[in-house]
Amino acid sequence: MPQTFTIAIVDDDYAIREALDDLVQSCGYQSELFTSAEHFLAYKNQAVIDCMLVDVKMPGMNGLELQTELNKMPRKPPMIFMTSYEDERTRSAAMDGGAFAIFGKPVNINKLIDCLEQALAVHF
């Protein structure tokens, strides 16, 4: 039986969370949805997460701050960031922190799927 991957979707925008959820499931993956970075950090079953799709700008803790917190943990799934506020400083901070990739919104769906598959292939 092939391995089923679980993708965390961390975004404060309901419509984006739902669209990404549909996309992830259409690729045959499971998903867990989170409305904020704090919501994800409070999640007790983080060990099931194989990859993360994370918004950079969210109320409270932003995606880069979440990345910093996860970098302190022994197991950190690959993170793919998405942002409407793409600039070189944000891109550099994400990549220097170990992000697998960062996309500007609106995200090219085909490129996102390819990136997600690459992240899973590299890490599993």
Could you read off the pLDDT of 71-83 as tens digits, one per residue? 999 889 999 999 9
Residue 1 lies in a domain: no
Residue 94 lies in a domain: yes
pLDDT at 1: 39
- CATH number for 100: 3.40.50.2300
Six token digits for residue 106:
């609106």
pLDDT digits (tens, 9 = 90+) for 104-119: 989 999 999 999 999 9
Residue 3 lies in a domain: no
Parent domain of 105:
8-123
- From its phi and psi, is residue 60 left (phi > 0), alpha (psi between -120 and 50) or beta? left
Residue 102 lies in a domain: yes
DSSP class of residue 82?
A: E
pTM attached to this predicted model: 0.95
Residue 59 lies in a domain: yes
Residue numbers of the chain with a pLDDT score lower than 50:
1
Q: Please state the domain count of the chain.
A: 1
Residue 48 lies in a domain: yes
